[in-house]
Amino acid sequence: MVKATFGLEENVASALCYVLVWVTGIIFLLVEKENKTVRFHAMQSILTFLPLTILIWILSSLFFGVFYLGLWWIISLIQLVMFVLWLFLMYEAYTGVKFKVPVVGDIAENQLK
């Protein structure tokens, strides 16, 4: 087994990049300097979940603000998509599959070159 950050096996470290969505992605990206697979999963975690989190924050502020636009269903849908994607990406990383989220996966690879 290939070792990575903190002496963890590569698949475990890759899965942990997704555990606290973009937060653990940032941690692993800063700490891991050599393992390209773990760095890819860390970058993909950041590029996937940080924009979605920001979008939810923006929509939530509109929802609770003066301009009630009935955005609760959009927020709920985004949260559901994030949850399913979060579980899927952790599982794929743990099983050793380098699944690339469409568009984001390619950007993550290019950022690490």
Over 60: is that where the pLDDT of 108 sits? yes
Q: What are the sequence ranges of the domains in the chain?
A: 5-98
Q: Are 67 and 39 in contact (CB under 8 A)?
A: no
Spell out the alpha helix ranges (H) of the chain.
10-16, 22-31, 36-64, 72-94, 104-111
Tens digits of residue pLDDT in 82-92: 999 999 999 99
Strand partners, 72: none
- Three-state secondary structure string covering 34-53: CCHHHHHHHHHHHHHHHHHH
Tens digits of residue pLDDT in 28-81: 999 999 999 999 999 999 999 999 999 999 888 876 655 566 677 888 899 999
Task: Supply the pTM of this predicted model.
Answer: 0.91
Q: Are 35 and 4 in contact (CB under 8 A)?
A: yes
Tens digits of residue pLDDT in 67-82: 566 677 888 899 999 9
